[in-house]
Structure 1
């Protein structure tokens, strides 16, 4: 078996030589003289290395920036990182650990201590990985059992209820995806992966109380009478009571506790107009809130004995417009952001909407089917044509024409952002326009990855982008703009890892005319441009729109 490999990253040749001399008998050593070189090397060969020794104070890209990049892309899942520095201040050490470092070595180097610390770190890191694998295997086995239970329950529902057996499976999937998105946009609920798995599994029991409701009501094709609806409503309390009647040791199980909350309160509404207890806002447990939204969404997109299925887009709009009750605004934001992926995930295998297979004419039963097929074909080609009209050929986001034709008279925009690339002329002058194009492409895709599918990202001109936001909470808006700024600042161009990229971001929050919003956002962008790599926000007064800046914030 060959030696384990260590990558030493330090701008000082002397320091690298000292460490190499201490370690070369036991390990195979590779050196990098700066952070950019290290990132470039790791992007191609990180599986080769067991350990990274990383200096903090380096020109161009310091050790903390390298560590943040490694942490952001989860490279430290398979690679231990130790920081090396003459500055062993508590603030430096704390920051290193927060960014994912495994240990910290101070200079000057003591050969025995260095060897022992590195040996211990690599041993502990290997043990940690083995433990994580064991836990992952156990977690996957538990997931298999949970999936089996969900499958059984779905068949019970299909046999007993007028709903499709897919409903339980769909609610489980939607609940899981909503929770995963929720922890991305807010830390308000402190949900761990275990919590998400638990709530998703417990969602299968949300309608278990319907076992006690008569078939004639459950499967009635027409509108329910007032008395019948009152009987249906009792399934929430009945389901919770069924779980509370379990043996006391089972009642204490986390799954049963969460399932009981979901059973009783998944028909409560955020405005307090739900049942059975009229809970309002955050009085409703988050598990019940999420399952409530998942239940309604799937009910809309599914065919029932009393209704046809709505399209995914129609279902989303009905929920956002408040036609189906009141929901947590943050959860509505999450549903918007995952709606496109949900549609793909929930489609039954036979309905491959994205595949455009031409049907055999023998399979077309009548003239109406032929007309329907021709109509869908025309719509497909129209969509392709519109893409050519409105998509920027370089960055693949919307172009200026799309902005001019679609947003001139829009009055329901919640917020607008103007983004300008810092020092873009210098990038073109120093590296050439081909590299400039690659930079714009990377920035555009980074912006897209930070916003929702319902938001519009537009290349307004040259190195300037505009983002249009609809129905977004102010705090989420702020976080998204800072996320865009940070994500661009850590971008690495593979062919030029030394190239540093940043953007100046200006945003305005508050409904107004497109022309006015753009003017304010553009102003904010120029405020950011004074320092570069900044976010400046303006919040428009609801009471007096003649005063554009009620509040202005400069982030970073």
Structure 2
């Protein structure tokens, strides 16, 4: 049986030798002579260790500083920390526990006590982790049950409402994309990943109040009378009241609170002309604002018993022109920026079985994104073997061969960007090639998340990427490059949190051949490399000159 591994961190060689002598028969023991060395070692091989024996008084980084670092990045989620010190004062012991230590052992060492305390810690920590895993599994099971019940209830509404059965999936998907784009554009709403998941799930209940509306009105062909429309409008209040009539302990659940907000206010409008309460602007909870926009977009693009479906372009035009009521301007901007992705994704959802899991749909769309670029669409799902020719195996974006065969002689490209990873040799030399591969993967996926479906992302060389844009306005082009720079600058790798990533970007915008755009973008990239983590853009055939972003 493989031994559990312990890391001893102490600047005293004699103290390390004493502990190794006590522990080496039962455990696999490693050493570090100061805190900085320990952090470096753990950043690369943290999951190898079950326990850290940490001295307090050390040069460079003392034990408390190491413990604070471990606690900040949640490394103690996977390993236990025992402090060792000759100073067993109450203040030291309290601080150690406050910073996340599991136990505290005083010197001089008693071999029996050390062995027993470490053995007990290993056992208790293993039990704690098993318990946390069970709780997490139960939580996810409950979350899945919540989604299942919401799906059942919402499909009952759809069935009575004569809808296609896909409206809830569509609203969920649109809501999720709008929220993700909203977080990229502004920090005004402080939405976490958990918040986005919660709101997207709760969106499925937005029309639950329609259960109370008679079939005669709900499925009427043709225009409703004023009286009938007033009846339809009651569904928002009815839905909210249905949720607020739940037992008090269920009303307090975050999912119910968000769902009741969405039910009541998803027909409010940003200018105050909605219903039922005439809320205006930010008086409307952001969850209800987003679902309102998602609901309107899908209602326009879907066929109903009383109307034909509008095209994607027609629906966008109607919404942006205010024909469907007023919406938050920043949400309208989000809708514009995700429009291409939405059109493709909703078409794919419509072609699948209604019971297909939303996450599977998302995974499929991510795959499609790699293979569908406007007029350069050349791969179908039945031709996935072609990815061996054109997809980079490490980063899953296009490879140099794809660039050479499909863009080398193109003359209708709008803009081009060359991206170089800053200090990549230093990363490989100091963190290892595995870390370097992770950096390239994370940067490639970050770039993909910042561009449109119609933009081609290519790994051009070892640590260089190229992006090719078609039909993009110059102001959007500038913003996308700065967003890429900022997004990469904000990346954190869990196993190496101290590793900072950045990229230098050079962009060229304007009509021209691929070679002309590439040469201009390459020159701009080298200007950015002079100071690193910068964006420099030149505009061809224009008077704007070069632009430089900090």
* TM-score tier after normalising by the smaller chain length: 0.5 to 0.7
Q: 1:151 to 1:392 in 2, by over 3 A?
A: closer
Distance across 2 between alignment mates of 1:447 and 1:230: 52
CA contact (8 A) 1:491 1:501 kept: no
**CA-to-partner distance for each residue in 1:15-66, whole Å, 9 max, x for gaps?**
7545534644664424589677766656xxx3x64224689999xxxx98xx
Q: Secondary structure at the match of 1:291?
A: helix
CA contact (8 A) 1:419 1:503 kept: no
Aligned to 1:369: none
**CA-to-partner distance for each residue in 1:63-96, whole Å, 9 max, x for gaps?**
98xx89x998x876433467999xxxxxxxxxx9
Q: 1:427 to 1:478 in 2, by over 3 A?
A: closer
Aligned to 1:456: 456
Distance across 2 between alignment mates of 1:97 and 1:343: 54
Query: Map of 1:510-525 to 2, 5 A cutoff?
Result: 513=510, 525=525
Aligned to 1:506: 505
Matched, 1:206 2:236: no
Aligned to 1:481: 485
CA contact (8 A) 2:154 2:205 kept: no
Distance across 2 between alignment mates of 1:84 and 1:524: 54
CA contact (8 A) 1:8 1:53 kept: yes
Give the Å deviation of 1:288.
0.9
Q: 1:330 to 1:123 in 2, by over 3 A?
A: farther
Give the Å deviation of 1:112.
7.0
Aligned to 2:533: 535
Aligned to 2:398: 397
Distance across 1 between alignment mates of 2:187 and 2:84: 32
Match of 1:447 among 437, 443, 446: 443
Q: 1:264 to 1:40 in 2, by over 3 A?
A: closer
Distance across 2 between alignment mates of 1:147 and 1:226: 36
Give the Å deviation of 1:157.
1.0
CA contact (8 A) 1:398 1:456 kept: no
Aligned to 1:348: 353
Aligned to 2:465: 465
Q: 1:440 to 1:124 in 2, by over 3 A?
A: closer
Distance across 1 between alignment mates of 2:549 and 2:193: 37
Q: Secondary structure at the match of 1:143?
A: helix
Q: 1:427 to 1:309 in 2, by over 3 A?
A: same
Q: 1:378 to 1:30 in 2, by over 3 A?
A: closer
Distance across 2 between alignment mates of 1:425 and 1:198: 41
Matched, 1:146 2:146: yes
Aligned to 2:88: none
CA contact (8 A) 1:32 1:38 kept: no
Aligned to 1:284: 284
Give the Å deviation of 1:505.
1.2
Distance across 2 between alignment mates of 1:538 and 1:84: 52
Distance across 1 between alignment mates of 2:421 and 2:9: 30
Distance across 1 between alignment mates of 2:110 and 2:339: 57
Gaps of 5+ in 2: 86-95, 365-376
**CA-to-partner distance for each residue in 1:452-508, whole Å, 9 max, x for gaps?**
26253234567532346769698886564244256599999xxxxxxx996641367
Q: Secondary structure at the match of 1:535?
A: coil
Query: Map of 1:68-467 to 2, 5 A cutoff?
Result: 77-80=77-80, 102-103=100-101, 111=109, 125-126=125-126, 128-130=128-130, 132-133=132-133, 135-168=135-168, 171-172=171-172, 175=175, 188-191=188-191, 195=195, 198-222=198-222, 232-240=232-240, 254-269=254-269, 274-276=274-276, 279-296=279-296, 298-299=298-299, 303-306=303-306, 326=327, 328=331, 332=335, 347-348=352-353, 380=380, 396-397=397-398, 399=400, 400-401=403-404, 408=412, 410=414, 417-422=417-422, 445-451=441-447, 452=449, 454=452, 455-459=455-459, 463-467=463-467
CA contact (8 A) 1:178 1:338 kept: no
CA contact (8 A) 2:170 2:346 kept: no
Give the Å deviation of 1:449.
1.2
CA contact (8 A) 2:420 2:504 kept: yes
Distance across 1 between alignment mates of 2:467 and 2:250: 51
Gaps of 5+ in 1: 86-95, 356-376, 493-499
Q: Secondary structure at the match of 2:534?
A: strand
Q: Secondary structure at the match of 1:258?
A: helix
TM-align CA RMSD: 6.3
Give the Å deviation of 1:262.
0.8
CA contact (8 A) 2:506 2:528 kept: no
CA contact (8 A) 2:210 2:239 kept: yes
Aligned to 2:549: 552
Aligned to 1:365: none
Q: 1:472 to 1:211 in 2, by over 3 A?
A: farther
